[in-house]
Chains A and B, each alone.
Chain A
Amino acid sequence: MYEFKNELTMSKSGFLFDHSSGQTYTLNPTGKLIFEKMQEGLDDEAILSTLIEEFEVEAHIARRDLEDFIRQLKEMGVI
């Protein structure tokens, strides 16, 4: 479960707006799916399963993408 520090809104196209800082981010389809699942309250393992199923990728690639995305969100101060 991830807790978001600020109010965030994502559009259908994956354009993310942080209402507190005014920062905007453009998410690719992988980032968009991970973010949606985070908002739904899924844990890492559940998000990984979704990624593997949705994008038909191997587990280690999905895990790398997820970890990389989480690292970026932390660096941006979003989670």
Chain B
Amino acid sequence: MSDLSQDPGLGPGTQNAPVNSRTLPAAPEGRSSEFVAVTGAEAESTSATAMLVTAYALFWVLLLGFAWMTWRRQQRLADRLNQIELRVANIDTGEKK
């Protein structure tokens, strides 16, 4: 319990958190035989590093997604420009004939 509460990655509320049954030995007498209501914050078990990495990855995923959407739009504009060029070329050819 003391090791868990001193982890610098853990958030507030862990100092007074209830004992996590997963940290206890799995002896039959150590298992929960009932569930009782407790007050105070739930023990935080998610890794702070995982949160940081996920947030940073999401930033890049969103940026690359935005860049990809911009590129797609640019491609569509290039296609429309090609269509215009073709139509103008056809008009020019028709006028020359």
Does B bind A?
Answer: no
**Which residues of B approach A to under 8 Å, CB–CB?**
none
Seen from chain A, the residues whose Cβ lies within 8 Å of a Cβ on chain B are none
